[in-house]
Amino acid sequence: MPSNATATPFELERGSASEFLSVTTPPPASVWKPHEEDDASANRPKRWLRLLNEYRVAEFGATLVMFLVAKSFTLLAVNDRPIPRIEIRLNSTTTVYARDPTVDEKKLYEQVPMWSLIVFGLGIPILTNLLLNFVLPKIRDVRVIPHDVRDFLLSLAQGVTMSTLLTQFTKHVTGRFRPSFYDMCGWDYDAVWDGVTNLCTDAAGEKEGRKSFPSGHASFAWVTMLLLTLYLLGRSRLNCSRRSESAVRGGTKALKLFLCFVPCLAASWVAITRSIDNWHHYSDILAGSIIGAISACLAYSYNYGSIFCWKYAGLPCEAIHEKIKSESMNNNQEAQGKLVNRNTRVSSSQRV
């Protein structure tokens, strides 16, 4: 436009004045859409839903419900088996009855009461997890795993719930007598027994004396301590490819293996005391230990990667899925980059 010409308002906006004044124009329709931010905020999950997912509240809630169901079994009646007896025939007309010696042991003091089992069985794993996540990273260079405390607590809760559910259900359905049943139920030793009459004087003791199979102490000790062992093995990542390259590295890994196994020794000791104290038969202890071990393996596998895979050992399943997704995206980008480079080289060769 000539300098002496008079510009109209429209020409002033689009013409010479635009050289000195910054004119803001709306972006193209393809870039900006009305109410786009409102739609995005509407599609974004609400804050309380994000918190529910982040802290796995639904899974904790389901675990709590199942634990209450497991504890409700203690309110049920125990299977009322006939009291065991031994029949002794003195002659063709006279028969006397004696107590079964397999359940006539003396009830001894518990070396591991239930309160101490719960305190140490839960306290040691939780304290170990907190030390590994909040104290050890300040001392040395270790992996910091997001949400590890949350996932470990959930694993512990799920394992204890599964073992308690199966243990309490089996106890009340079976109704097996403890080795110290007669002493526990307050048996009237002065009365002459006809082999049928119930001579127990302590109803609560009699009910407790019918809960021998399986051992609750053994199942609880094994589910908590084996879960801790699996967790330590996962964090240690012993199954590395360079383990045999150095004698020092191999010895260190072997030492860590035995250190991770220490909680299982504690679980074994707790289980054995139940037989020493005349509270359980060996078969009760074995069954309880199996229940606890299986529950620990299931709970750990539900929340963590395999301890035998060095790449994913010790990682929660959520972190594993995110890692796999990230690796897949990187692989796709690399493949696309290689494809573009190849097409570029082909085009260049064709032009030449």
Rounded CA-CA distance 222/228 in Å is 10
User: Catalytic: 280?
Assistant: yes
108: Cβ–Cβ under 8 A, 6 or more apart, which residues?
180, 276, 277, 278, 279
The two tokens of residue 189 are 């030793």
Q: Which pLDDT belongs to residue 13?
A: 43
């042991």: which residue's tokens?
105
Cβ neighbours of residue 122 under 8 Å, at least 6 residues apart?
Answer: 156, 160, 224
Q: At 87, which helix (H) or strand (E)?
A: strand 85-89
Query: Using CA of residue 199, residue 202, residue 207, residue 208, what is the dihedral sign?
Result: negative
Among the listed residues 35, 147, 172, 217, the single catalytic one is 217
Q: What is the model's pLDDT at position 9?
A: 45
Ordered DSSP codes for 96-158: EEEE-GGG-PPPPPPSS-HHHHHHHHHHHHHHHHHIIIIIHHHHS-----TTHHHHHHHHHHH
pLDDT confidence of residue 334: 65
Task: Look up the pTM and report it.
Answer: 0.77
Candidates 35, 280, 281, 321; catalytic one: 280
Quick one: pLDDT at residue 274?
97
The structure tokens listed for 316 are 């929660």
List the chain pLDDT tens, one digit each, 352 residues.
Answer: 444 444 444 444 444 444 444 445 555 555 555 555 555 555 556 777 777 777 788 899 999 999 999 999 888 889 999 999 999 988 888 888 999 999 999 999 999 999 999 999 999 999 999 999 999 888 887 777 888 999 999 999 999 999 999 999 999 999 999 999 999 999 999 998 988 999 999 999 999 999 999 999 999 999 999 999 999 999 888 776 666 666 676 788 889 889 999 999 999 999 999 999 999 999 999 999 999 999 999 999 999 988 887 777 777 777 776 666 666 666 666 666 666 666 666 566 666 5
Query: Kind and range of the H or E element at 281?
Result: none
